[in-house]
Amino acid sequence: MDPELEVRLYGRHEDGGFETLIAYTAKYFDGNIPIPGDTIVTCPGSVALVSYRVIDRYFITDGFFDRGWALLVERVAKAPDLAELGRQWVEDTKFFNELQDEDPNQWKGGWISPEKLDRSNRDPAYWTFERKELLRQEREARVAAMSAGEKAQEKNE
């Protein structure tokens, strides 16, 4: 997707006209343009927390240069859980940034929340992708440890 594409959020006035609320590049959304039903939250964790629900989206072009997505949005009333979610997002961002500063390699495969797995659980719904990934990482660590032990033993022989 062309990173120069614009994504503009439009709100509707009471008189029926439109007002440009915010403009981004498509690159800002990593090429994943919000669709109807998505909620866009701006300034999470701050007093200026504002959220917009996407009502409709249109790709607009004049042929060559001026093109992009026009998102028709409506403002969403503040919800207590959304404000708390915004605050948690800010705290998590600080935590992850500190963690990444300590060990940049931690982020190669993404961060997975450490949790104690219930290996006796046979419910397929319990075994999410994340939990399966934890098992895979544990297995790889065991294999690497066994391999290192075998190589050390070979050197001693």
pLDDT at 3: 46
Q: What is the mean pLDDT of residues 70-94?
A: 82
Question: How far from 89 is each of 24, 95, 127, CA to CA, in Å?
Answer: 21, 10, 26
Report the C-alpha gap between 107 and 103 in whole angstroms.
Answer: 8
Q: pLDDT band at 104, cuts 50/70/90?
A: low
Q: pLDDT band at 103, cuts 50/70/90?
A: low
Could you tell me what percent of the chain has a pLDDT over 70? 78
pTM here is: 0.56
Q: In the predicted model, what is the mean pLDDT of the chain?
A: 79
Tokens of 61: 């072009």
pLDDT at 110: 56
Question: How far from 8 is each of 2, 27, 57, 84, CA to CA, in Å?
Answer: 15, 13, 10, 27
The segment with the largest mean pLDDT, out of 73-77, 89-93, 99-103, 130-134, is 73-77
Is pLDDT of 57 > 90? yes
